[in-house]
Amino acid sequence: MTAGAAPSRRSRRRRIVAILGFIGLVLVLWEGVKFIGGDPWRVNGELMWTPPLDLKFATDINLPHVWSIAAALGDPWRRSADTSLFMFLVGKALYTWREAAIGFALGAVTGIALAAVFVHSQLLERAFVPYVVASQTIPIVALAPMIVFFVGNEILAVVVVATYLTFFPVTIAMIRGLRSPDPRALELMRSYAAKRRTIFWKLRMPASVPYLFTALKIAATASIVGAIVGEGPGGVQDGLGRAILDFNQTYITGPEKLWAAILVTALLGITFYLVVRIAELWWLRDRAPDVAT
Amino acid sequence: MSSQAVVHLSEVTKTFDVPGRGTMTALSGIDLSIGQGEFVSLIGPSGCGKSTLLRLIGDLTVPTSGTVEVNGKPARQARVDRDYGIVFQSPVLFDWRNVEENVRLPLELIGTDKAAREARVTEMLELVELSDFRRHHPYQLSGGMQQRVSIARALAFEPALLLMDEPFGALDEMTRERMNSEVLKVWTQTGITVVFVTHSIPEAVFLSSRVAVMSARPGRITKVVGIDLPRPRTVETRENRRYFELVTEVREALRGMDGRVEADDAALERATAEGGIG
């Protein structure tokens, strides 16, 4: 029903072309650098090309060929394994995503709750917001082992780390969002003798939804970083964090695997972000077209 | 104090503390009684406190001294009893609700049962001639249509009193005149009492039974002009000779207060805006 809200087929096609074009450009640049200054190019052991320059960062160890990474994704993830590296990493990614999603949900609820308290009490806001801000300046790598120690359970610890990184953007955005209603809208509610709770649910919360989604898009990727970082000290074996640490240790013998793991991690982040974005578009479908962008 | 007065103000003053400028008197010695079914406009230069006066009646701000009564009750009690509906200069529609959901809002808060609610919403949308736009969202409507939704919402719970704070100030002249006729139609059909803030002299004269002319610094009512134009008022009314006489009378009453300091106006407007939000 909302005319003009849905992008036309032509602009959608143009966007897909732009995305594919950008990926193509990155691949060309990547291989271009290797063409100028990488290790000699070999196909099936046969020398094909010797780059004129010797650039340290472009060696096969530091920057593997994109087709080596692609091939590694299709190969068994380790000798004599049944599953390909890709399926192996997807399994790990789903595991990590579960932890991240739980942390994301808890962080969102925590953030909304804190913002709701702060918006209703300036005293509490002044007293506690500095600590909320300070909490985010502590490096998560320093904090994660302590959280593992305090929480005990490994997976729960990972979830807590993800929550910790998620609640902050939500809190800050929701303080703003819950305060976003026009003063006249608040007066209107007052003219109906509406109670604070009614004003919160009928006015402040709906008005804050665009702000909430902006924060959730940040939180989606932050929760995945939190889960991956937490998996190390947490000793969680089944997630991407462990895989990244393992492939890091065996980098010299198989650099493609770490690059593949990074690729899958990025895909996971993008996917989570897109899920939130689609939820946003759906939720705000009836609002003015500029609100949902 | 008459018992049939819908609005009764006596000896009302309102002062604001303006940071760095001390206390400013927004309203002083206001006495006004508005009877059942009257249409009273408050008109005056900006900063004369006419919006503040409206907000006092609605208990959206409290007087420094004096009493404000609505329906024979203190203003606060009247607000709690939902004795009035209010329309602001901007429509203040909730953009996550469509037209009918916006009109339904006060009924939800009051707890009207669902069937009565739907019937009432339908009735209100017919009154403001927006039945075909029930499911439209605010951003899809013109400014005049949005303001009609806002009027329907204000009337939805059948309040005894309608407060209107420069409701058509943001509309172009043509739309404004059409809206004036709409409001009179609503007023005639519902028999509601209206207090209407405006700074348009033609609008005040066209609509009202009485026009209260206010002066600034401090804000007070300097003259009340009775509008004896016949009803129903139509396009011809605006070409009526008596209409021009009354417009002139109001204009002359307003002329007493030229040459005010504009900076004071601005400071007071700010204080009014900040002071009343609460």
Q: Is residue B154 a contact partner of residue B87, using CB atoms and an 8 Å limit?
A: yes
Is the Cβ of A45 closer than 8 Å to some Cβ of chain B? no
Interatomic CA distance for residues A70 and A75, integer angstroms: 9
pLDDT, position B276: 42
| pLDDT tens digits, B161-215 | 999 999 998 888 888 998 999 899 989 999 999 999 998 999 999 999 999 999 9
- Which residue numbers in chain B have pLDDT < 70? 1-3, 257-278
Q: Is residue A167 a contact partner of residue A110, using CB atoms and an 8 Å limit?
A: yes
Is the Cβ of B108 closer than 8 Å to some Cβ of chain A? yes
Name the token pair of A105: 């949900």
Residue B35 dihedral angles phi and psi, to the nearest 5°: -85, 165
| Mutation site for A-interface testing, chosen from B90, B94, B134, B135 by largest number of A Cβ within 10 Å | B94
Q: List Cβ neighbours of B238 (8 Å cut-off, separation of 6 or more).
A: B177, B202, B206
Interatomic CA distance for residues A74 and A86, integer angstroms: 6
Among the partner-chain residues A184, A186, A288, the one whose CB lies closest to the CB of B139 is A288
Is the Cβ of A293 closer than 8 Å to some Cβ of chain B? no
Among the partner-chain residues A206, A286, A288, the one whose CB lies closest to the CB of B98 is A286
Q: How far is CA A57 from CA A51, A245, A288, in A?
A: 14, 21, 49
Interatomic CA distance for residues A203 and B136, integer angstroms: 19
pLDDT, position A253: 87
pLDDT, position B277: 36
- Which residue numbers in chain A have pLDDT < 70? 1-7, 292-293
- Least Cα distance to A169 among A208, A220, A100 occurs for A220
Q: List Cβ neighbours of B58 (8 Å cut-off, separation of 6 or more).
A: A191, B75, B79, B84, B86, B163
Q: Is residue B161 a contact partner of residue B71, using CB atoms and an 8 Å limit?
A: yes
**Residues of chain B positioned with their CB less than 8 A from the CB of A209:** 96
Name the token pair of B209: 């039974």
Name the token pair of A91: 């399994």
For B109, nearest residue in chain A (alpha carbons): A194
Among the partner-chain residues B60, B276, B277, the one whose CB lies closest to the CB of A191 is B60
pLDDT, position B60: 95
**Residues of chain A positioned with their CB less than 8 A from the CB of B80:** 193
Do A187 and B88 count as a contact with CB atoms less than 8 A apart? yes
Alpha helices for chain A (secondary structure H): 9-37, 66-74, 85-120, 122-135, 140-151, 154-178, 183-191, 196-199, 205-234, 240-249, 255-283
**Residues of chain B positioned with their CB less than 8 A from the CB of A291:** 95
Which amino acid, residue B22? G
Which amino acid, residue A8? S
Q: Is residue B51 a contact partner of residue B166, using CB atoms and an 8 Å limit?
A: yes
Is the Cβ of B149 closer than 8 Å to some Cβ of chain A? no
Q: How far is CA B241 from CA A39, A263, B32, B249, in A?
A: 98, 82, 29, 13
Is the Cβ of A198 closer than 8 Å to some Cβ of chain B? yes
Which amino acid, residue B154? A
**Residues of chain B positioned with their CB less than 8 A from the CB of A202:** 105, 108-109
Q: Is residue B268 a contact partner of residue B255, using CB atoms and an 8 Å limit?
A: no
Task: Fill in the DSSP letter of residue B66.
Answer: E
Q: Is residue A162 a contact partner of residue A107, using CB atoms and an 8 Å limit?
A: yes
pLDDT, position A9: 82
Q: How many CB pairs under 8 A join A and B?
A: 64
ipTM: 0.88
Q: Is residue A162 a contact partner of residue A227, using CB atoms and an 8 Å limit?
A: yes
- pTM of this structure: 0.85
pLDDT, position B265: 53
Residue B257 dihedral angles phi and psi, to the nearest 5°: -120, 40
Q: Is residue B227 a contact partner of residue B178, using CB atoms and an 8 Å limit?
A: no
Is the Cβ of A187 closer than 8 Å to some Cβ of chain B? yes
- Least Cα distance to B203 among B223, B225, B221, B180 occurs for B180
